Amino acid sequence: MDKALALERISKAREGQHLEFKEASGGLPEDVWETYSAFANTEGGVIVLGVREEPSKTFAVVGVPDAQKAVADFWSILRNPQRVSRDTMLYDGVRVERVDDVDLVVIDVPRAERGDKPVSVFDRRRKGFVAWVRRGDGDFQASPDDLRLMQYDGISSADRKPLEEFTPEALSAETVRRFRNVFSANKPQHPWTEEADEDFLFHIGALGKGRDGALHPTQAGLLAFGNEYEITSYAPHYLLDYREETSGDRRWDDRIVSQSGDWSGNLIDFYYRVSERFVRYFKTPFATDETGTVHGSRNPVTEAVNEALANAIVHAFYGTNGAIRIVLTGDELVISNPGSLLMDRRVAIAGGYSEARNPTLMRMFAFVGVSDRAGSGLQKIWETWLSEFGSEPALAERHGPAAVELRLPLAPKAAYGEESRSNRSADPRAAMVLNDDEIKQLVAGSPQGILPCELHEKTGVSQRTAQERLKALSDAGELERRKDGRFYRYFAVSSR
């Protein structure tokens, strides 16, 4: 709301997620504290005292009889720990505005820092402290899910906690192998590349020592590398769901869901699978030379959607009844995750400040080049979308249950999609997704073996990517490597 409150604006205003009017004819109203708590625990907001709601659902300015006393009472109660658990206000957060010859009291309540939540206030009816949340134009008592989210966010490294009910065998060996291959390709000289799996997983935070002195998966490790049936025994509502709905004549054209049972269902494999779909859909006309499974692509759109996907994964709250959902249609890409923003939406978009709900997960993804941890991800997404599509993304929070939703419009550049599809049809290489199975099929179809430069020619990926992927498969024992002059030639394992 603007600093200068005008009578005509108030009469036409509507209460909502960030605005609340209260009459205050008898001084500071008791229910101001419910709204203070609700705003602090959600997105922040403005409370205006001295405005009455009429039967017509419009608002009339009636003023606060003794505005200065109301202000003094507010500050006094706010700083009383027997009434309010946390003071989140800024020093200039309360002011008196003169409108239509009467005084209004305007209270700007900021979003509380993650370590200050839940902000609770004493409720005389319940004879105890109660936390409130804002949902639309109403204040509601925080649900158990709301409280779990706020309490989780209050622990800076909650996802590094060892889960002593699990052993390292709960992790998918195939996912660990794939992750290590990418790690080695990105950091070939790193000392961890030579370590045994358990030592490597301990160093990246996927395993931790329990009270019994043994190694157990951390929460981040289980989510990143675990099998879905193990993950859901810890987080029953865990769900990952990617859908392509581009044809318009069926429920979906392609779907990846964690509970399907035909793949691990963990976060690492979900990222790679969805990233491959993004490359397939967005690859042309930008002539990228990367697979999209790691950052560094020259395709700004693929980079942006990969960043958005990684953001959803590392910032999601996995302790609630919510899912990570990605829906790609002909008009837009929508990515949502359970949880709330950890900072004001405008600050998040502006960039320069990094705050992770799951810092161990973020660190793991950074090891394979997926997250730079610089706090500039959303800013880059905004810049890319304005440049490539001429439109601005939309970032919003939903409440009850809490969720963050990013909408990336595709429609303004309708020609992009048509050109993309025609180019993929004209050039079979452009549609190829560089995954392990396809590489092995190409190698198996070449009895004389294949050089990295030949894989580059067949698929259109860069020679560096071709070399790294072939070497990773060879290191994993899935391809055989033989010296051929100054280069290595790769063969199917059964070839002789």
> Are 329 and 341 in a shared domain?
yes
pLDDT for res 443: 87
Q: Which of 410, 430, 450 delimits the end of a domain?
A: 430
Q: How many structural domains comprise the chain? A: 3
Any domain includes 186:
no
Give the range of the structural domain holding residue 307, as residue numbers without chain letter. 237-430
Q: What does the pLDDT profile of the chain (496 residues) look like in tens digits?
A: 443 445 556 666 788 999 999 999 999 999 999 999 999 999 999 999 999 988 888 888 999 999 999 999 999 999 999 999 999 999 899 999 998 789 999 999 999 999 999 999 999 999 999 999 999 999 999 999 999 999 999 998 899 999 999 999 999 999 999 999 999 998 999 999 999 999 999 999 999 999 999 999 999 999 999 999 999 999 999 999 999 987 766 678 889 999 999 999 999 999 999 999 998 888 644 333 444 444 444 688 998 999 999 999 999 999 988 899 999 988 899 999 999 999 888 888 887 677 889 999 999 999 998 876 555 688 889 999 988 888 899 999 998 789 999 999 986 443 344 443 333 333 333 333 457 777 888 888 788 888 887 887 777 666 666 777 888 888 888 899 887 765 678 998 864 4
Q: Whole-angstrom Cα distance, residue 378 to residue 459?
A: 31
pLDDT number for residue 266: 98
Q: Which of 110, 142, 174 is the last residue of a domain?
A: 142
Asked, for residue 86, whether it belongs to a domain, the answer is yes
The answer on 419 and 280 residing in a single domain is yes
Q: Supply the pLDDT for residue 473.
A: 87
pLDDT for res 427: 34
Tokens of 188: 């070939």
Q: What is the pLDDT of residue 249?
A: 63
Q: Say how far apart CA 166 and CA 164 lie, in whole Å.
A: 5
Q: Indicate if 278 and 328 belong to the same structural domain.
A: yes
Write down the pLDDT at residue 82: 97
CA 272/CA 275 separation, integer angstroms: 5
423 with 438, same domain: the answer is no
- The answer on 473 and 422 residing in a single domain is no
First-to-last alpha carbon distance for the chain, in angstroms, is 75
Shared domain check, 261 and 382: yes
Q: What is the pTM of this model?
A: 0.76
Claim to verify: residue 297 and residue 400 sit in the same structural domain: yes
